[in-house]
């Protein structure tokens, strides 16, 4: 079932490689007023259920994505009325860069609405192509509740000109307070040979103490297989797309906003 945000729905065959059906719900709650936007469609088989909620100004924003595997399993139920969850579970600190509350240290309390949710601390650090150095405005923060892939953290991943970092914890307001001092992050994925030299990565994102290791072969950067990786220097010979194993020892610029749908 394919449904756009306008509310119109139609039955559509999923494209090859998109074996799951998904339902994405955006809810905004503000002083008793509720707004909900729903979109339905197909997605790739690696997708899992995920949620995220955070405060910005006087609003609470909740993002939910649910996936299923059978035909038309994501079609809306007749007469179904969705309401903002009223249950209360783990208590977390919450803020967002959209109102600069994270940057100003104005954390508020947010009660998680679903069992199994954890406290989240997320950053998106973006470097636009052609810019010599990232500016503070290129970093987006959010703290709140959720259940995202990669939890428990910390973990991170790279997408084009963006680094995403995620930390999860499951005790009261464990995501509050100042950011971590000098944590180490491991990021695994694919890379071109130039990225294996490490210097373009360090310059693009103002990173320090960067350790880049590359290898060739399917799954060669799996944690269970990485024992004594090739470190730094020139890239290994092989195809243009190499597996990348990066350890980032960050001295600053951590945690921020993220996208629920990837």
Q: Mind listing the pLDDT tens digit for each residue in 137-163?
A: 567 889 999 998 877 766 766 666 777
Neighbouring residues of 84: CB distance < 8 A, sequence distance ≥ 6: 27, 29, 34, 60, 62, 113
* 257 contacts 123 by C-beta, under 8 angstroms: yes
**pLDDT > 70 fraction of the chain, expressed in percent and rounded:** 63
The residue whose two tokens read 């991170």 is 156
Assessment of whether the complete model's pTM goes beyond 0.75: no
Q: Confirm if 27 and 21 have CB atoms less than 8 A apart.
A: no
Domain 1-75: CATH superfamily is CD59 (2.10.60.10)
Lowest mean pLDDT among 18-22, 156-160, 188-192, 239-243: 239-243
CA distance 224 to 58: 45
Q: For the chain, where do the domains classified as CATH 2.10.60.10 start and end?
A: 1-75
Answer whether 92's CB lies under 8 Å from 147's CB: no
Q: Is the pLDDT of residue 57 over 80?
A: yes
176 neighbors 93 (Cβ within 8 angstroms): yes
Tokens coding 107: 């954390």
The 10s digit of each residue's pLDDT in 73-97 is: 998 877 655 555 567 789 999 999 9
Tell whether the model's pLDDT for residue 175 goes beyond 70. yes
| Res 50 pLDDT > 80 | yes
In 3D space, the residue among 149, 124, 145 whose CA is nearest the CA of residue 258 turns out to be 124
How many other β-carbons are positioned within 10 Å of the β-carbon of residue 135? 10
Contacts of 145 by beta carbon, 8 Å cutoff, 6+ apart = 51, 52, 53, 54, 90, 92, 94, 110, 111, 112, 113, 114, 117, 118, 119, 120
Alpha carbon distance 16, 63 (integer Å) = 27
Give the pLDDT score at 6.
58
Find the length of the chain: 262
Task: Write b or e for each residue in 87-117: b if 16 or more Cβ atoms lie within 10 A of its Cβ, otherwise e.
Answer: eeebbbbbbbbbeebbeeeebbebbbbbeeb
Residue 130 or 186, more confident? 186
């Amino acid at each position: 079932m394919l449904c756009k945000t306008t509310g119109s729905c139609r039955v559509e065959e999923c494209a090859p490689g998109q074996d799951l059906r998904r339902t994405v719900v955006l809810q905004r709650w503000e002083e008793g007023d509720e707004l909900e936007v729903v979109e339905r469609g197909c997605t790739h088989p690696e997708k899992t259920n995920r949620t995220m909620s955070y405060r910005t100004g006087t609003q609470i924003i909740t993002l939910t994505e649910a996936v299923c595997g059978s035909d038309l399993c994501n079609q809306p139920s007749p007469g179904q009325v969705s309401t903002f969850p009223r249950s209360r579970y783990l208590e977390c600190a919450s803020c967002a860069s959209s109102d600069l509350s994270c940057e100003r240290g104005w954390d508020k309390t947010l009660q998680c609405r679903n069992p199994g949710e954890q406290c989240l601390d997320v950053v998106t650090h973006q470097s636009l192509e052609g810019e010599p150095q990232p500016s503070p405005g290129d970093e987006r923060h959010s703290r709140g509740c959720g259940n995202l892939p990669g939890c428990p953290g910390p973990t991170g991943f790279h997408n084009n000109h963006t680094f995403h970092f995620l930390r999860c914890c499951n005790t009261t307001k464990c995501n509050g307070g100042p950011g971590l001092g000098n944590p180490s992050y491991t990021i695994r994925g694919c890379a071109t040979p130039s990225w294996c030299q490490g210097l373009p990565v360090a310059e693009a994102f103002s990173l320090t103490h960067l350790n880049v290791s590359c290898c060739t072969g399917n799954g060669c950067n799996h944690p269970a297989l990485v024992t004594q990786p090739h470190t730094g220097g020139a890239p290994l010979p092989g195809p243009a797309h190499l597996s990348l194993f990066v350890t980032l020892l960050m001295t600053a610029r951590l945690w921020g906003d993220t996208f629920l749908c990837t």
